[in-house]
């Protein structure tokens, strides 16, 4: 990788960018052009789509050095989100940190379905988000449906800290109650939520080693892996959610590719009815929904 000539006095963007793209490609990075622009935008504090509008405009020497260092990190397959410290999710800038899962686009399917259901509920719906991570789901719901209140729980201290910062950044901290805990432990007797959402860990232990270097380096294993086949958390979450939901309350679970039928069975066994599977944009069954219709 030859990024050294950036040390000179000439830091025209076109040249700096082209060298970065070549280095990223050699390192096997999947989208070198996109990553080179996003990282340049982070360094210059400009939108990524504007960094190359005037390709002869130079980078300041400090910016060129900073850019080179970040490109070297990306060549080591550190995810862009961890390098720049954020990821766009549901049109919100969500901060990420070491030890906290980077939000994924497929989780927007869960958010869209949850918003659709919340809009059909009267009053101020109470929502529980189990395994909130960066707080992306909780914050997206609190932002899109201002009359709802969200309780968000995660077992990881780093996740709760990051979700707290994100909720403040988006001005919804007063409507997102955060705490650290194991699933629904400490949430009382039950019957108090109108909706429960969760994107739990659902990768099987044996699958983890086959994930991309970015995922293995950038996301905590505990946020991804749940048992040998990935189903470890669905059953306890379904059973606990059934107790915590009000009659007619709704549970929405994100699932991995091919998991929807078995998760629907788990929900049925826990007492849920009106089971539905919602596809993501790629046509994969991504969300399993059920209602507590026992009133």
Ligand X SMILES: C[S@@+](CC[C@H](N)C(=O)[O-])C[C@H]1O[C@@H](n2cnc3c(N)ncnc32)[C@H](O)[C@@H]1O
| Contact flag: residue 218 with ligand X (CB under 6 A) | no
Residue 140 burial by Cβ neighbours in a 10 Å radius (0-12, 13-18, 19+): buried
| Contact flag: residue 253 with ligand X (CB under 6 A) | no
CB 84 within 8 A of CB 38: yes
| Contact flag: residue 183 with ligand X (CB under 6 A) | yes
Residue written as token pair 């059953």: 235
Task: Using CB under 6 A, pick the residue from 119, 174, 182, 265 that binds ligand X.
Answer: 182
Q: How far is the CB of 151 from ligand X (least distance, A)?
A: 12
Q: Which residues pair with 120 in a beta bridge?
A: none
Residue 216: φ, ψ to 5°? -65, -30
Task: Using CB under 6 A, pick the residue from 32, 95, 125, 200 that binds ligand X.
Answer: 200
Q: How far is the CB of 222 from ligand X (least distance, A)?
A: 6
Tell me how many residues contact ligand X (CB under 6 A).
22
At residue 291's C-alpha, the angle toward residues 147 and 264, to 5°, is: 125
Distances (CA, A) of 53 to 57, 68, 207: 9, 20, 42
Task: Using CB under 6 A, pick the residue from 96, 127, 151, 159 that binds ligand X.
Answer: 159
Query: Can you read off the two tokens belonging to residue 38?
Result: 């996003």
CB 124 within 8 A of CB 149: yes
Judged by beta carbon, residue 6 or residue 102, the one nearer ligand X is 102
Q: How far is the CB of 172 from ligand X (least distance, A)?
A: 15
Q: How many residues make up the chain in this entry?
A: 295
Per-residue x/- marks for ligand X, 119-158, CB under 6 A? -----------xxxxx-xx---------------xxxx--
Judged by beta carbon, residue 24 or residue 92, the one nearer ligand X is 92
Judged by beta carbon, residue 17 or residue 90, the one nearer ligand X is 90
Q: How far is the CB of 88 from ligand X (least distance, A)?
A: 13
Q: How far is the CB of 198 from ligand X (least distance, A)?
A: 7
Judged by beta carbon, residue 68 or residue 286, the one nearer ligand X is 286
Residue 159 burial by Cβ neighbours in a 10 Å radius (0-12, 13-18, 19+): buried
Spatial neighbors of 67 by CB under 8 A, at least 6 apart, are 6, 16, 20, 39, 40, 43, 59
Distances (CA, A) of 212 to 79, 128, 175, 209, 215: 10, 31, 36, 8, 5
Q: How far is the CB of 268 from ligand X (least distance, A)?
A: 23
Judged by beta carbon, residue 33 or residue 235, the one nearer ligand X is 235
Which residue in 253, 143, 150 sits closest to 194, CA to CA? 150
Judged by beta carbon, residue 44 or residue 107, the one nearer ligand X is 107
Judged by beta carbon, residue 20 or residue 159, the one nearer ligand X is 159
Distances (CA, A) of 27 to 57, 132, 203: 27, 33, 26
| Contact flag: residue 201 with ligand X (CB under 6 A) | yes
Q: How far is the CB of 261 from ligand X (least distance, A)?
A: 20
Per-residue x/- marks for ligand X, 56-95, CB under 6 A? ----------------------------------------
Binding site for ligand X (CB under 6 A): 101, 103, 107, 130-134, 136-137, 153-156, 159, 182-183, 199-201, 222-223
């Amino acid at each position: 990788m030859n990024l050294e000539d950036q040390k000179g006095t000439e830091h025209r963007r076109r040249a700096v960018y082209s060298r970065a793209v070549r280095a990223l490609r050699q390192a096997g990075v999947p989208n070198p052009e996109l990553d080179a622009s996003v990282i340049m935008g982070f360094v210059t504090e400009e939108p990524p789509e504007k960094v190359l509008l005037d390709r002869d405009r130079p980078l300041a020497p400090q910016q060129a050095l900073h850019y080179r260092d970040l490109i070297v990190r990306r060549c080591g397959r550190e995810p862009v989100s961890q390098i720049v410290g954020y990821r766009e999710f549901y049109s919100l800038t969500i901060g990420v940190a070491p030890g906290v899962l980077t939000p994924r686009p497929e989780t927007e399917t869960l958010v869209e379905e949850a918003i659709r259901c919340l809009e059909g509920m009267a009053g101020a719906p109470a929502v529980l988000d189990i395994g909130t991570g960066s707080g992306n789901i909780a914050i997206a719901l609190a932002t899109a449906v201002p009359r709802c209140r969200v309780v968000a729980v995660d077992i990881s201290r780093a996740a709760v800290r990051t979700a707290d910062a994100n909720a403040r950044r988006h001005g919804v901290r007063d409507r997102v109650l955060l705490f650290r805990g194991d699933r629904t432990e400490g949430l009382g007797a039950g019957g108090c939520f109108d909706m429960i959402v969760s994107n739990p860990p659902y990768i099987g232990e044996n699958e983890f080693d086959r994930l991309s270097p970015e995922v293995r380096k950038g996301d905590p294993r505990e946020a991804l892996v749940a048992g040998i086949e990935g189903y470890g958390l669905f059953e306890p979450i379904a059973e606990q959610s059934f107790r915590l939901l009000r009659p007619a309350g709704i549970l929405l679970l994100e699932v991995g590719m091919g998991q929807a039928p078995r998760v629907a069975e788990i929900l049925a066994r826990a007492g849920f009815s009106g089971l539905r599977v919602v596809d993501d944009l790629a046509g994969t069954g991504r969300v399993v929904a059920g209602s507590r219709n026992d009133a």
